[in-house]
Structure 1
């Protein structure tokens, strides 16, 4: 079984204008970046560094799931890290429908 670990280290990178946090997977350690423009669509106010970090913490699970999907697909940047964009956050994990799901769905009709 694969275990992803996300330390509590979210921070603002002034040079890249992005929230960064760490992901650990076995011996792999990478930096995840979410640029300010991604937060523009999430926030109803100007995406200041403080608001971006707050939005990250409020929706942390959503960001972590996006990172897990990208790592499973081996979608890394040239430097071996992960960048999350708006499309990544809008994507849902397509869960295959199993026989049990179909039976349960039929029984609830």
Structure 2
């Protein structure tokens, strides 16, 4: 019985050693996979960082374009208002010129009438 117990103990020790060796081998394999994953992940992280930087740059440029567009819109609105004022002033000038023309024609007619009257008083 002692030899049987010793045989069983030896068998258990061998199984434990085999299990330990398999576990160690599996741990080494997992470590290699982990190292490989890290090796692949680091450049990917760097690339993602660059992409993020480019996105930030693009966002900044978009904001600049939006600001410039708003400023141009404001300038265009101001120009439209100024053009409307100029059109109004031009229309008022045309109206004033027409009134002046009518007054000049009337003045010329009156001057002609007065000239005829003055000519009538001459001897």
Q: Same fold (TM over 0.5)?
A: no
Query: Which protein shows a greater Rg?
Result: 2
Which is richer in helix? 2
Per the normalisation by structure 1, the TM-score is 0.17
Which is richer in strand? 1
Which structure has more RCO (C-alpha within 8 Å, separation ≥ 6)?
A: 1
Per the normalisation by structure 2, the TM-score is 0.16
